[in-house]
């Protein structure tokens, strides 16, 4: 495992060498204020009051005030940057969710308008005694009455004296004169 010096670590992180949700990097030696030194530590994530690290002893938080300078200052700066990135990501997610909700509302409104327009068009066709594509079988029945016979299949055919009417999935496809 390759370890970075504090200067190289700062340069790597600040240059944005790798975009990750949580920045992880190794630190060869982390000195604490009580004089204890941790070797071969990996920073996993930043929290409000502590930095979570992984070492040979396991994973756990270390409060920032336990870390010696200059590493503490660097970690606090990185914490602020990490929190800012997380907040920006959350804002972007919220914006995307709001946009999706708005688009859904617009689509639902357009669907309602299309449904109302279809109902109006079908009503007018029934009133005029015409059948149009997209009518249901019940709507076509109101206009044409009972067929002489029905031929079932993938496309259902209603046979009348004057025409053939074709349906698929209860939707009128076409009318053909005999």
26-50: pLDDT as tens digits: 888 888 999 888 888 898 888 888 8
CATH number at residue 139: 3.30.1450
pLDDT tens string, the chain, 178 residues long: the values are 344 444 444 444 444 433 444 556 788 888 899 988 888 889 888 888 888 999 888 899 999 899 988 888 888 888 888 888 889 999 999 999 999 889 999 999 999 999 999 999 999 999 999 999 999 999 999 999 999 999 999 999 999 999 999 999 999 999 999 8
Residue 69 located in a structural domain: yes
For the whole model, what pTM was predicted? Answer: 0.47
**56, 91, 126 - which closes a domain:** 91
User: Do 27 and 78 belong together in one domain?
Assistant: yes
User: Do 69 and 120 belong together in one domain?
Assistant: no
10 Å CB burial of residue 61 (0-12, 13-18, 19+) is middle
Please tell me whether residue 118 adopts helix, strand or coil conformation: helix
pLDDT of residue 23: 58
User: Do 84 and 11 belong together in one domain?
Assistant: yes
> How many domains does the chain fold into?
2
Host domain of residue 45: 6-91
Residue 100 located in a structural domain: no
User: Do 86 and 115 belong together in one domain?
Assistant: no
Residue 137 located in a structural domain: yes
Distance CA 34, CA 167 (A): 84
- Before 15, cis peptide (omega within 30)? no
Closest C-alpha to 38, from 6, 62, 22: 62
Residue 138 contacts residue 167 (beta carbons within 8 Å): no
User: Do 19 and 83 belong together in one domain?
Assistant: yes
């Amino acid at each position: 495992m390759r370890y970075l010096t504090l200067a190289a670590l700062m340069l790597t992180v600040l240059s944005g060498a790798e975009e990750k949700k949580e920045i992880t990097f190794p630190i060869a030696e982390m000195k604490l204020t009580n004089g204890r030194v941790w070797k071969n530590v990996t920073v996993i994530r930043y929290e409000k009051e502590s930095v979570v690290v992984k070492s040979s002893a396991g994973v756990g938080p270390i409060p920032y005030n336990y870390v010696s300078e200059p590493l503490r200052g660097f970690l606090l700066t990185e914490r602020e940057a990490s929190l800012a990135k997380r907040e920006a990501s959350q804002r972007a997610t919220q914006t995307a969710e709001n946009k999706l909700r708005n688009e859904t509302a617009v689509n639902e409104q357009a669907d309602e308008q299309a449904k109302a327009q279809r109902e109006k068009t079908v009503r007018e066709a029934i009133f005029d005694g015409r059948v149009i594509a997209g009518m249901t079988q019940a709507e076509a029945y109101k206009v044409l009455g009972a067929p002489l016979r029905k031929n079932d299949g993938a496309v259902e055919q209603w046979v009348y004296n004057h025409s053939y009417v074709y349906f698929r999935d209860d939707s009128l496809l076409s009318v053909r004169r005999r």
